C-alpha cells in the first residue's frame, strides 16, 4: 500500500514539476517573442539612423530568426500587415498573391497582396550595411554564387581580426572562383602589411580594388615598386584586351539592333523599291503587341515574349498589307507621292497609338532570364538582353535569306522586281507577290519591335528614332542587297561604339553621318551594289 501511495505522490510531484517547468518554458517563450517583437518594432520607424541602430542591435542579439530577418529586410520581403500590424515575411513576391508567414513564429499565413502589406523600407546606406552583415554569414552558404559574392565583398575589407579566419576559409574552399576571390582578398591584406610576395598572388587579377592598391605602391621607389609596376602593367594589358572585346561586343550589339530595324526596310525599299516612311511605326506596332500580350498574360513575361514573336510579325504584316493595298499600290512609280503618303500614315499610326494607349510610355517587362549579364571576368560582362537580340537578329536574317533564296516566294519576288512584265507573262501573279513581299518586310519590322521592347522605350515616338538609321543602313549597304544590310549595320554599330568613348555620343553620331555622306558621294550604290540585270 505504501508503495502505491508513494507512487501516487511521486507522480503528483512529477506532474507539478512538469507543470511548473512548462509554465517557465512558456514564460521564456513569450519573453523571446516580446523581445523579437520589440526588435522588429524598432525596425519599423521613420528615421533611417534609428533603423541602422536597430539593425545593429538585431545583428548582435541571439535570436534564432535574425539571419532570416536581415535577409528578408535586405530583399524588401520583411513587411507588416496593414490591419493587425503583424510582421510577416513574404516568401515569394512573384505574381499577385504572395505566400506569407509570420516573422516571429514562422507560422504560414496563407497569401496576401501588395495592398494588404506595408514594406519595412530601407535606404542605400542600410542596404550596404545589411550586405556587409550578410557577407560573413554567406561565406558558409552551400550556394557557390552566394559564397563568391560574399568573398568578393571581402576584397579590401580584410583586417587583422579576420585575416586568419579568411585564410582558414581559403584552405577549406573547393570552388575555384571563390578561391581566387579569397586569395585576392588575403593578398590585398598582406600587401597592406608590406609583404612583397603578396604581389604574386595579385598578378592578373582584374578586380578594381587590386589596381587601386597597386597604383600608389607602383608610384614609389624600390624593388617592391618595380614588382608592383610589372604586376600593374600585366593587369593593364589584360584589361586593355578585355576592353577591346567589350567594345566589339557593344558594337555588334548596336549593329544587330540596326540590322533588325533595317532588314524589313531592305525588303520593302531595297527589293520592292517602295519608300515606306511608316516603317518605324510598324516596328512600334510590334513593340506594342508585346505589351498587349504581356498584359493578357500577367506574371508570365517569358511566355508572353515568346508568343509576341509570331503575334508581332502577324500584326505588323497585317498593317503593312493594309498600307500596301490601301495606299501604296495606287502610287506605283511615283516615289515622291509614296514618301509623302507613307509619312502621313506614320503620323496617323502614332496618333492612333497615342489615343488608344495614352501618350505615355508603356512598361514592357523583361523576363528574369533576360536580365543581368553573363559575367566572363571582372572587366568583361555580356548583358543578356543584348546577347539575346544579337542571336535573334542572326536567326531572323538567316530565315529571311532562306526565304529569298530557297522558296518559291523568293524566286517570284526576285523575278517581279527584275522584270515585272516578263514575270507576269510567265504566269507570276505580280499583285499577290507585292502583297506578300510587303507583308514580309512589314512583319520583320514587327519582329524588330518585339526585340526592341526589351532594350528601349515602348512609346508612340519609338518608330521615329529608327526610321533614319534604317534608311542609312540600307543605302550604305547597297539597295537590294540583304548581305549588304547585315555588313553595313554591323560595321556602323562597331564604328559608332569605337568613336563614342572619346568623341561623345553626339559627335559620334555626326561623324558617322558625315562618313556615310562622303562614302555615298564616292560610291552612290553603297557597299555592295547590285550587278548585272538586277541593277536596273
Partner 1 sequence: MSQHRTLRKALLGLSLSIVFPFAANAADDTIKVGILHSLSGTMAISESTLKDEMLMLIDEQNEKGGLLGKKLEPVVVDPASNWPLFAEKARQLLSQDHVAAIFGNWTSASRKAVLPVVEELNGLLFYPVQYEGEESSQNVFYTGAAPNQQAIPAVDYLMNEVGVKRWVLAGTDYVYPRTTNKILEAYLKQHGVADADIMINYTPFGHSDWQSIVAQIKRFGSQGKKTAVVSTINGDANVPFYKELANQNVDAADIPVMAFSVGEQELSGIDTGPLVGHLAAWNYFQSVDNDANYDFIDAWRAYKKDDNVVTNDPMEAHYIGFNMWVEAVKKAGTTDVDAVKDAIIGVSVPNLSGGAATMMPNHHITKPVMIGEIQDDGQFDVVWQTPSTVAGDAWSDYLPGSKDLISDWRKPLSCGNLNVETMKCGGADVGK
Cell numbers of 499, please?
568613336
Q: Considering only CA atoms, which of 419, 511, 523 is closest in space to residue 479? A: 523
Residues between 370 and 399 that touch partner 1 (CB under 8 A): 371-373, 381, 383-386
- Whether the Cβ atoms of residue 169 and residue 182 lie closer than 8 Å to each other: yes
| Binding of partner 1 by 76 (CB under 8 A) | yes
Q: Long-range contacts made by residues 27-30, C-beta under 8 angstroms, separation at least 24?
A: none
- Binding residues for partner 1 restricted to 453-512, rule: CB under 8 A: 455-461, 465, 496-497, 500-501, 504-506, 509
Q: Least separation, in Å, of the C-beta of 401 and partner 1?
A: 26
Taking CB under 8 A as the binding criterion, the range among 34-42, 113-121, 336-344, 521-529 that sits at the site for partner 1 is 113-121
Taking the complex as a whole, how short is the minimal distance between the CB of residue 168 and partner 1, in angstroms?
A: 28
Nearer residue to partner 1 within complex by CB, 131 or 300: 131
| Residue 365 found at the interface with partner 1 (CB under 8 A) | yes
Binding flag, residue 346, partner 1 (CB under 8 A): no
Q: How far is CA 421 from the centre of its chain?
A: 50
Measure CA of the first residue to CA of the last residue in the chain; give whole Å: 125
Closest approach of partner 1 to the CB of residue 34, in Å: 29
Question: Applying CB under 8 A, which of residues 5, 60, 124, 521 lies at the interface with partner 1?
Answer: 124
Minimal distance, residue 466 CB to partner 1, in Å: 9
Q: Which is nearer to partner 1, 34 or 123 (CB)?
A: 123
Task: Pick the closest to residue 256 from 4, 469, 53, 28 (CA basis).
Answer: 469
Find out whether 290 and 308 touch, Cβ atoms under 8 Å: yes
Residue partners of 251: CB distance under 8 A and separation at least 6: 490, 493, 494, 495, 496, 497, 498
Interaction of residue 115 with partner 1, rule CB under 8 A: no
Contacts of 469 (CB under 8 A, 6+ apart): 258, 261, 262
Phi-psi region of 382 (alpha: psi -120 to 50; beta: other; left: phi over 0): beta
* Residue 463 or 480 having the CB closest to partner 1: 463
**Which set of grid coordinates corresponds to residue 174?**
573547393
CB atoms within 10 A of CB 52: 16
| Residues 6+ away with beta carbon under 8 Å from 330 | none
Using CB under 8 A, which of 86, 121, 332, 424 touches partner 1? 121
Report the site for partner 1 in 29-68 (rule: CB under 8 A): 48
Chain residues 174-213 in contact with partner 1, contact rule CB under 8 A: 208-209, 211-212
- Least Å from the CB of residue 90 to partner 1: 12
Per CB under 8 A, which of residues 308..327 are in contact with partner 1? none
Determine which residue in the list 346, 366, 437, 442 makes contact with partner 1, applying CB under 8 A: 366
Q: Please identify, among the stretches 119-127, 165-173, 262-270, 478-486, the one whose residues bind partner 1 according to the rule CB under 8 A.
A: 119-127
At closest approach, how far in Å is the CB of 321 from partner 1? 27
Q: Which is nearer to partner 1, 217 or 440 (CB)?
A: 217
User: What is d(CA 274, CA 334) in angstroms, rounded to the nearest whole number?
Assistant: 9
Answer yes or no whether residue 257 interacts with partner 1 by CB under 8 A: yes
Taking Cα atoms as reference points, which of 180, 137, 187, 138 lies closest to residue 158? 187
Q: Is 361 left (phi over 0), alpha (psi -120 to 50) or beta?
A: beta
> What's 10-60 look like in SS3?
HHHHHHHHHHHHHHHHHHHHHHHHHHHHHHHHHHCCCCHHHHHHHHHHHHH
| Residue 218 near partner 1 by CB under 8 A | no
Residue with smaller CB distance to partner 1, 423 or 450: 450
Of 54, 151, 254, 304, the residue at the interface with partner 1 (CB under 8 A) is 254
Does residue 250 touch partner 1 according to CB under 8 A? yes
Would you tell me which residues interact with partner 1 (CB under 8 A)? 48, 76, 114, 119, 121, 123-125, 127-128, 131, 208-209, 211-212, 246-247, 250, 253-254, 257, 351, 354, 359-363, 365-366, 371-373, 381, 383-386, 455-461, 465, 496-497, 500-501, 504-506, 509
Amino acid at each position: 500500500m505504501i508503495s502505491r501511495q508513494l507512487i501516487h505522490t511521486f507522480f503528483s510531484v512529477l506532474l507539478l514539476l512538469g507543470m511548473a517547468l512548462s509554465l517557465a518554458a512558456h514564460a521564456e517563450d513569450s519573453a523571446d517573442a516580446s523581445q523579437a517583437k520589440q526588435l522588429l518594432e524598432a525596425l519599423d520607424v521613420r528615421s533611417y539612423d534609428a533603423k541602422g541602430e536597430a539593425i545593429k542591435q538585431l545583428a548582435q542579439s541571439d535570436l534564432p530568426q535574425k539571419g532570416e530577418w536581415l535577409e528578408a529586410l535586405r530583399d524588401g520581403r520583411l513587411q507588416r500587415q496593414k490591419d493587425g500590424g503583424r510582421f510577416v515575411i513574404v516568401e515569394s513576391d512573384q505574381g499577385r498573391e504572395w505566400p506569407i508567414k509570420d516573422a516571429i513564429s514562422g507560422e504560414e499565413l496563407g497569401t496576401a497582396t501588395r495592398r494588404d502589406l506595408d514594406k519595412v523600407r530601407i535606404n542605400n546606406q542600410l542596404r550596404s550595411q545589411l550586405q556587409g552583415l550578410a557577407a560573413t554569414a554567406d561565406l558558409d552558404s552551400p550556394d557557390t554564387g552566394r559564397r563568391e559574392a560574399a568573398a568578393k565583398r571581402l576584397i579590401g575589407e580584410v583586417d587583422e581580426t579576420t585575416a586568419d579566419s579568411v585564410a582558414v576559409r581559403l584552405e577549406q574552399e573547393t570552388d575555384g572562383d571563390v578561391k581566387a576571390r579569397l586569395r585576392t582578398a588575403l593578398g590585398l591584406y598582406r600587401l597592406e602589411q608590406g609583404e612583397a610576395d603578396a604581389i604574386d598572388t595579385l598578378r592578373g587579377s582584374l578586380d578594381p580594388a587590386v589596381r587601386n592598391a597597386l597604383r600608389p605602391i607602383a608610384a614609389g621607389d624600390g624593388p617592391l615598386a618595380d614588382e608592383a609596376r610589372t604586376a600593374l602593367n600585366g593587369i593593364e594589358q589584360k584589361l586593355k584586351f578585355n576592353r577591346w572585346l567589350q567594345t566589339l561586343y557593344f558594337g555588334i550589339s548596336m549593329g544587330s539592333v540596326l540590322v533588325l530595324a533595317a532588314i524589313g526596310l531592305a525588303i520593302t525599299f531595297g527589293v520592292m523599291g517602295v519608300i515606306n516612311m511608316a516603317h518605324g511605326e510598324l516596328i512600334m506596332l510590334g513593340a506594342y503587341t508585346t505589351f498587349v500580350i504581356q498584359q493578357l498574360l500577367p506574371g508570365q513575361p517569358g511566355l508572353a515574349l515568346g508568343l509576341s514573336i509570331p503575334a508581332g510579325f502577324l500584326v505588323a504584316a497585317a498593317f503593312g498589307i493594309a498600307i500596301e493595298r490601301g495606299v501604296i499600290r495606287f502610287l506605283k512609280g511615283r516615289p515622291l507621292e509614296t514618301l509623302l503618303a507613307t509619312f502621313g500614315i506614320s503620323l496617323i499610326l502614332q496618333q492612333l497609338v497615342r489615343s488608344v494607349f495614352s501618350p505615355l510610355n508603356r512598361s514592357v517587362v523583361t523576363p528574369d532570364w533576360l536580365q543581368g549579364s553573363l559575367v566572363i571576368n571582372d572587366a568583361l560582362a555580356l548583358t543578356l538582353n543584348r546577347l539575346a537580340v544579337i542571336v535573334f537578329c542572326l536567326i531572323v536574317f538567316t530565315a529571311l535569306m532562306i526565304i529569298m533564296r530557297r522558296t518559291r516566294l523568293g524566286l517570284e519576288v526576285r523575278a517581279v522586281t527584275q522584270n515585272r512584265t516578263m514575270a507576269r507573262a510567265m504566269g507570276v501573279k505580280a499583285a499577290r507577290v507585292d502583297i506578300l513581299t510587303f507583308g514580309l518586310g512589314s512583319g520583320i519590322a514587327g519582329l524588330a519591335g518585339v526585340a526592341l521592347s526589351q532594350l528601349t522605350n515602348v512609346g508612340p515616338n519609338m518608330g521615329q528614332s529608327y526610321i533614319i538609321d534604317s534608311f542609312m543602313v540600307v543605302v550604305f549597304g547597297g539597295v537590294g542587297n540583304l548581305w549588304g544590310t547585315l555588313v553595313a549595320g554591323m560595321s556602323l554599330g562597331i564604328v559608332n561604339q569605337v568613336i563614342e568613348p572619346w568623341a561623345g555620343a553626339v559627335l559620334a553620331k555626326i561623324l558617322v553621318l558625315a562618313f556615310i555622306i562622303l562614302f555615298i558621294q564616292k560610291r552612290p550604290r553603297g557597299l555592295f551594289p547590285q550587278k548585272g540585270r538586277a541593277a536596273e
